[in-house]
Structure 1
């Protein structure tokens, strides 16, 4: 009897935490003034940096330095309006499209402290800047970019449970299946069609929206797999315990770290 009770309790914590995060996100995106939003983004960067430092075993001194400098650099970049420049996201584009596939294919280990510090900045800072830029362009745009990862993650989970037979990356994340990924891809495409219908897109706009959503969907899978690989190499199940029922912050935002910078870059390219 204990196992079902524990399972039910874990599910309840997961649901409550998830709903709390959703409400907090909506309130912050729609109601927070710009200075408060900047403060929340810097707080997010600091918390994510702390988990990254623990994941790569920086140690207490080096870890605290990494968190502090990440918060300072993130604030300085934002105050300098770097988030409005495409150059802020180009390194992230190269990392996710070129380096991460190679990293996963060759099963590279986690880097040491110095390279790990730089890699942490490459993962976190563009995502933080994208949170600032996309919200400045419109709350709906930011929520749409976040929703792509959330929709893909949920659809992959349910499609994988219902139809999953063939492992997507058994060495990295045994629970993920090709069927789940295909189901997620279809769901994201339907989501893009729904958004296009809501905004009365013409055919060219709709095709662009579906293509962009497809790219961001693929990146969301990459972000998820990369964090899974980092945890596997580090020998941990979760990146932390900040979110009851979910694990750490990085466990919840892994796909968003890949999606948000490229979403910002695409918007800059189309509307810059």
Structure 2
């Protein structure tokens, strides 16, 4: 199993990096839309939709995505970007205000249609964030995704070594507060490395990446809640040795839209208050 996981991770990285840096915007957007549809199919599995319902859901999602691709092509990236920012702002409010309360009470919507709409909105916000981040600066996308992967790994090892206090035992029994601390420490070291090497220009990257890390933890717990409700171990079998695609991007779903909001806010703040 470990060998399969490693091979899959290497193949994914070997495909992801060339696509990120070499594909034109429209090509990248189309590939990311296809992967978003995979996530939406797995989300439909969480809600135990019938085969016919899942097909309708995916067709509607695909048509919507293609329509947005057409608008991106017709009106250009700037038009798309400022509309996407509104979506990111709404997603940030949801992840930073609504999700913590819902996780605390261990409860989300029980109506299937509401959860279907919720998942659709969150996956589409991720897709729009993937498109905008690549065009703004591919390295921004790489930094945010690598932050989530680093935080996940650090949380796992810190939890294994030092974990005593459960983070959310009713949702994900394996996660601990010590794991969260390990994740934040690892991300702090990563942020310091980015600043010291000159990859970023400001120490504001540290609180920014901490916010992204916390958002990623919420995303992980959010997916775990719905998997547990559906009595599923994995979101699917899309990635050999890893399970479903949602299992690998659950932390990125909130982190990337929030990261794009933070980036825009910091850029606007710099422009408005520079002397």
Same-fold status (TM-score > 0.5): yes
Where does residue 255 of structure 1 map in the other structure?
251
After TM superposition, the structure 1 stretch with the greater mean CA deviation from structure 2, 230-239 or 189-198, is 189-198
CA distance in 2, matches of 1:260, 1:16: 26
For the residue of structure 2 that corresponds to 1:215, the secondary structure is helix
Match of 2:38 in 1: 47
Q: Which runs of 4+ in 1 moved over 4 A?
A: none
1:58 aligns with 2:58: no
Task: Tell whether the 8 Å contact from 1:74 to 1:128 is kept in structure 2 after alignment.
Answer: no
1:52–1:120 Cα contact (<8 Å) kept: yes
Match of 1:83 in 2: 81
Offset at residue 110 of structure 1 (A): 5.1
- Counterpart of 1:170 in structure 2 is 169
Q: 2:217 aligns with which of 195, 218, 221?
A: 221
1:116 Cα deviation after fit: 1.9
Distance apart, 1:56 and its partner CA: 0.6
Residue 83 of structure 1 deviates from its aligned partner by 3.4
CA distance in 2, matches of 1:111, 1:30: 41
Q: 1:201 to 1:57 in 2, by over 3 A?
A: closer
Are 1:109 and 1:233, in contact at CA under 8 Å, matched by a contact in 2? no
Aligned alpha-carbon RMSD (Å): 1.6
Give the match for residue 159 of structure 1.
Answer: 158
In structure 2, stretches of 5+ residues that fail to align are 73-78, 269-275
Q: For residue 122 of structure 1, what is the aligned residue in structure 2?
A: 121
CA contact under 8 A between 1:110 and 1:233: conserved in structure 2?
A: no
Aligned residue in 2 for 1:241? 237
Structure 1 residues 93-143: Cα deviation after superposition (integer angstroms, max 9, x where no partner): 111011111211222255333212210122101110000001001111110
In 2, the alpha carbon distance for the partners of 1:96 and 1:201 equals 26
Taking structure 1 as the reference length, the TM-score comes to: 0.91
For structure 1, which runs of at least 5 residues remain unmatched after alignment? 1-9
Residue aligning to 1:143? 142
Distance in 1, matches of 2:44 and 2:257, equals: 21
Q: Are the equivalent residues in 2 in contact too, given 1:84–1:133 (CA < 8 A)?
A: no
Question: CA deviation digits over 1:131-157, x for unaligned, max 9?
Answer: 000100111111011111011001111
Structure 2 equivalent of residue 30 of structure 1:
21
Checking the alignment, whether the CA contact within 8 Å between 2:106 and 2:171 is kept in structure 1 is no
C-alpha displacement of 1:174:
0.9
Aligned residue pairs total 260
